[in-house]
Structure 1
Amino acid sequence: MIFVTGGSGLIGSFLIPALLAQGHKVRALYRQHIPSVSNAEAVEWVEGDVLDALAIRRALEGVTHVFHCAGLVSYAPQDEAALQQINVEGTANIVDACLDRPGIRLCHVSSVAALGGGAAAAEQHPGTTQLLTEDAKWDLGAAHAAYAASKYLGELEVWRGVAEGLQAVMVNPSVVLGPADWERSSTRLFRYAYNQHAFYTPGNINFVDVRDVVAAMLRLTLETSIAGERFILSAGAVPLHDFLTQAAACFGRKAPRIAVPDWAAEVIWRAEYARSVLTGARPLITKDTARAGRKPVVYQSQKVQQATGLAFRPLSETIQWCCQGLQPNSLGSGVVVVY
């Protein structure tokens, strides 16, 4: 029996059908509505929340493996408390519940944001491309986005569990690409390309196909005995403009052509912050997202390739697959920033 959290998210929505296809029994957590995933009727759905420690403990009865995919991705200042609760306290609850049932194996979905580096290091070494591996050290003295800090602290909870005997692996995906809701996750990048906006932010995007993320998680968790390790999942890095150009071409649309200068991005996020304070609305762009595109970072994934023998799909194949699976409706607008 395999337990999955975050079944409504991009990774979880592809992980659950993959587990079922391999013949595994799946139990999955949901909050208000059962997620729309393939073969949902074959899943044993459990209503609950990662913040409900007792519900998590009950859900793990008879479970052999846990895939913890639930998490909040946000750079809005209003969500700092929620990030701490869901990404840190929620992970702590999962770890504690696993420790209560010896023999369970955990796969925790973290993020490359938990590696540190990025914008903080870019300010110290401007213009220098960082090549980050799983050995990257978190700089406690640097300024980090609340989301990145929450993923780092969530990882610490897993490391605590490992120290207490938990069999756990962690994966650190970069920007995960896949066909999903236009309004959620990285799929907004495709929506932006479809909308034929003229502007884009300079910088690179590190990417990975959601199918490759799921394949790596299954291989590491179910087919190896590796424990106490984390693995970067990233197929490479390309300029954001190149990504948007390829996506626009796949849709038969015009690509963005005007780069937003750094000074303009700084003005925009400050104006958005003031608007959010005055109106209570969520900012379209925050300080962290405005500056994220400047990160000269490339995440190295040789470790997971050596451990699993898996290869990552090229960007062109992933974009073609995503464009075919996306339906252009209720498209929004705005300036794309990478985070």
Structure 2
Amino acid sequence: MILVTGGTGLIGSHLLFHLITNGNSVRSNYRTKASIEKVHKVFGYYTDDPSHLIEQIDWVQADIADLGGLDSLFDGIEYVYHCAALISFDPKDFKILERTNVEGTGNVVNLSLKHGIKKLCYVSSIAAIGPIIKGKESTEENEWNEAKASVYGITKYEAELEVWRGSQEGLSIVIINPGVVIGPGFWKSGSGTFFSYASKGKKYFIPGGTGFVTINDVINAMAKLMDSNIQTERFILVNQNMTYEKLFQKIAPKLGVAPPTKKVSKFMLECFWRWDWVRSNIFGKRRKLSRAMANGLYHQENYSNQKIKSRLDFTFEDLDKSIVFCCDKFMEKV
């Protein structure tokens, strides 16, 4: 049996669909019944009978940060895809990020060792890759620099250290570092916010850019890595390095609106992160833009995908087709 932690998220839900439709016996944890409804919605993008597939999953209510309730989650498990994580760039959330991303991953590693798991695939992030060097593509060998990382990136890097520790103790592991994952279903978080923002016909786009990858590429790469003899390695998963302006130019017309044409200036970003700090500290509002995030938005981040392409003879799918598919699914919900 295969365990998928974080099966109710974007990557986890698509991974569950892949595994179930390929005849695998699968277990996944969840926190609330409402979160399973999100999986049902994602499955509905690809099949007319999502309920039938949902019922084939062995659902267990469990929090990876709560070690006491996790042991039974691993009974009878041979392979683990660890997708569970908390995403936040608010410095105030550091402790909860650390609890979920670092301590939770430590729990998964320890129980994988205890139960003799054959192989673990950990879903990290390009946020855990070392700092960007202007004019160069970042690789898996970038040197880490915590001073230039977001709180989310710091906890994902520390979570990777837990996975590397497990490998030193005899656990077979692989790590993936996806870019911004383009996939349907979660329109109020992650890449889904690009579609929601574009649909409103907004005029401004943020400067800079980063690496993007389709959800199908992420799932296929994970499955291929788990089926291979490759272990104790990490792989960047990025299809294209692209500006946010270019991304909106691809999304907006498919949603029937004009793409944004005005770049948010450096001055505006400087003002906004300061105002965001004030509203957070005085009014208790959740941070939307930290100083580190604002600084990162000034630049184009470029990532190399040569390692995954050469080691697995991996071919990335057409990113534009995936964007069109997401736009179609987004329009269905309107």
TM-score (norm 2): 0.92
1:271 equivalent to 2:275? Answer yes
Superposed CA offset, 1:285-320 (max 9, x none): 222332222233211111112222221123311211
AA in 1 matched with 2:118: I
Give the structure 2 partner of residue 168 of structure 1. 173
Which stretches in structure 2 are left out of the alignment for 5+ residues? 44-52
2:54 equivalent among 40, 63, 74: 40
1:324 maps to 2:328? yes
Question: Residue in 1 aligned with 2:46?
Answer: none
Deviations 1:110-142 (A, max 9, x none): 001111213xx5xxxxxx2231111111125x3
Structure 1 position 105, deviation (Å): 0.9
Assess if the C-alpha contact under 8 Å between 1:232 and 1:301 holds in 2. Answer: yes
1:246 pairs with one of 243, 246, 250: 250
**C-alpha separation between the residues in 1 aligned to 2:79 and 2:102?**
20
State the match for 1:87 in structure 2: 101
- Match for residue 112 of structure 2? 98
Quote the residue 1:214 is aligned against.
Answer: 219
Cα distance in structure 1, aligned partners of 2:237 and 2:247? 18
- Of stretches 277-286 and 87-96 in structure 1, the one that deviates more from structure 2 is 277-286
Aligned residue type for 1:137: E
What pairs with 1:299-310 in structure 2 (closer than 5 Å)? Answer: 299-310=303-314
| Mapping for residues 124-273 of structure 1, pairs under 5 Å | 128-140=134-146, 142-221=147-226, 223-273=227-277
After the TM superposition, which of the residue ranges 318-327 and 265-274 deviates more from structure 2?
318-327
Q: Where does 1:106-125 land on structure 2 (aligned, <5 Å)? A: 106-118=120-132
Residues 86-111 of structure 1 deviation map (CA, whole Å, 9 limit, x = unaligned): 11000000000001022431000000
> SS where residue 36 of structure 2 aligns?
coil
Q: Offset at 1:328? A: 7.0
Structure 1's unaligned 5+ residue stretches are 122-127, 331-339
Contact 1:53–1:97 under 8 Å retained in 2: no
Paired AA for residue 202 in structure 1: P
Asked whether the 8 Å contact 2:4–2:83 carries over to 1, the reply is: yes
Code of the aligned partner of 1:187: G
Q: Name the SS of the counterpart of 1:29 in structure 2.
A: strand
Contact 2:273 2:290 in 1 (8 A): yes
**Identity of paired residues, percent?**
36
CA contact (8 A) 1:191 1:328 kept: no
Checking the alignment, whether the CA contact within 8 Å between 2:128 and 2:156 is kept in structure 1 is yes
Contact 2:80 2:117 in 1 (8 A): no
Higher helix share: 2
Q: Is the 8 A contact 2:210 2:300 kept in 1?
A: no
**RMSD over aligned Cα atoms:** 1.5
Partner of 2:317: 313
State the 1:277 CA deviation.
Answer: 1.1
How far apart are the structure 2 equivalents of 1:167 and 1:298? 29
1:50 partnered with 2:64: yes
Change (3 A) 1:271 1:329: farther
Q: How many aligned residue pairs are there? A: 320
Show the 5 A alignment for 1:280-299.
280-299=284-303
In structure 2, what residue type is equivalent to 1:134?
Answer: E
- Alpha-carbon distance in structure 1 between the residues aligned to 2:282 and 2:145: 34
What secondary structure is seen at the aligned counterpart in 2 of 1:231? strand
Amino acid at match of 1:18: H
